[in-house]
Amino acid sequence: MQRTTLFLTVVLTLILGFSSAKAQDENVTIIAPTSEVAEGLDLTAVSELFKEAENLQEFEKQLNDPEIGINNLDLDDNGEVDYIRIVEEIENDTHIIILQVPLGENEFQDVATIEVEKNAEEDYNLQVRGNEVIYGPDYYVAPVHVHVHTWPIIPWIYRPVYRPYRSVYYYGVYPRWWRPWRPVRINVYRTRTVHYTSRRTFTVRRTSVVRNSTTVRYKPRSSTRVKKKTTVTYTNKGGKKSITTKTKRTTASGKTTTTTRKISKKKNPKTGKSTVTRSKRKTTKSKSGKKTKTVKHSRTRKKR
C-alpha cells in the first residue's frame, strides 16, 4: 500500500494545529491519531455502518463484506485483508462491543470498541474508541447531536433477557461466503468509503462521552504482530523547520523494524529561497538487538 501520502497528510494537519509562537520556543512530540495500520479501517465509516445495522450479526457480516469495502485491514502484513469478528461484554446498562481480529490460535488484536451506555435521561451515550496500538491514545468517534435510541440496533441490544453477542468465527474458521482479498490502495479505499465518511453524523474527538465503560470487565487484547506506533515531532529552530515521523513495528518473532521519515525546510534569508530535504531510514533488528538491515534514502530540492 502507498502509505507516504497518509504520512504527509497527517504531518500537514499537525503543522496547522500548532501556533507559530509556541513552535518557535519548543519541540512538540505527539502520538498521531492514526498509524499505518489505521489506514485500513476508518472508524467514522464503521460508526455509520453500526448505526444502520439491525443487529450485531448483521453488523459483523457487513463489516467484512468486500462489496461494501469498509474493512481493508491487513494487520499481519501477509497481503490479505483480515476477518474482523465481534465480541461483546456487558455490565448493567453498559455494553462494550469489541472489533477483534484473530491472527493465530492464541493471537488476537482488538482494533476498536463500540461503547454504549444508558443514561439517566433514558437516552444513550455512544462512542467508537480506537485501540491505542493502532489509532493512538484518546481517539474517539461520537455522534453529533443525534439521539441514538432511534437506531434499530440499540433496542436490539437492550431488549429484555439479552445475552452478549459472541461471534462463532475464529482463526481458520470463517463464514462460507467470506474469502480474504488483497487490500486496496489508500486512495481507492477513501473513494470506496466516501459514501459513509462524507456524512456529518459523527465527529472525531479526544475526550470520552461514555462514563461507565470502565465498569465493564474488559481488557484489550493485543498481538505483537501488529505493534505499530507512529510518533510525529515538529521542530522549528533558527529558521529551520523539520518534521519527523517514526513508525515502530514488532513481529511475533521479536524482529523490530523502525521506519523514520524526515522532512526539513530551510530558508535562505538573503535569497529568500527554500531548500527542502526528504530522508527515509529503515532499520531492522533481531530479537537479540543485533542490527540486521539499514536502508537510507535522501533527496534535496530547492524551492523558489
Q: What pLDDT is recorded for position 68?
A: 94
Q: Which segment of 144-153, 173-182, 293-302 scores lowest on mean pLDDT?
A: 293-302
Checking if the pLDDT of 302 tops 50, the result is yes
Partners of 282 in the beta sheet?
259, 295
Put simply, whether the predicted model's pTM sits higher than 0.75 gets the answer no
Write down the pLDDT at residue 83.
Answer: 97
Over the stretch 15-45, which tens digit does the pLDDT of each residue have? 444 433 343 333 433 334 456 778 899 999 9
* Residue 119, pLDDT score: 82
Closest CA to 110 of 100, 118, 102: 100
For 257-279, the DSSP string reads: EEEEEEEEEEE-TTT--EEEEEE
Show me where the domains of the chain are located.
4-31+227-303, 37-221
Q: Which residue has the higher pLDDT, 157 or 232?
A: 157
Residue-level pLDDT at 207 = 92
Highest mean pLDDT among 72-81, 219-228, 286-295: 72-81
301 versus 32: the higher-pLDDT residue is 301
**Per-residue model confidence (pLDDT) at position 276:** 79
Higher pLDDT, 255 or 109: 109
**DSSP character string of 104-170:** ETTEEEEEEEEEEEE-TTS-EEEEEEE-HHHH-SS-EEEESS--GGGSTHHHHHTSTT----B-S-B
Q: What is the pLDDT of residues 45-82, one digit of tens each?
A: 999 999 999 999 999 999 999 999 999 999 988 899 99
- The more confident residue out of 33 and 261 is 261
What proportion of the chain, given as a percentage, has pLDDT over 90?
Answer: 46
Place of cell 518473532: 253
Phi, psi of 37 (to 5 degrees): -65, -40
Mean pLDDT of 252-258: 62
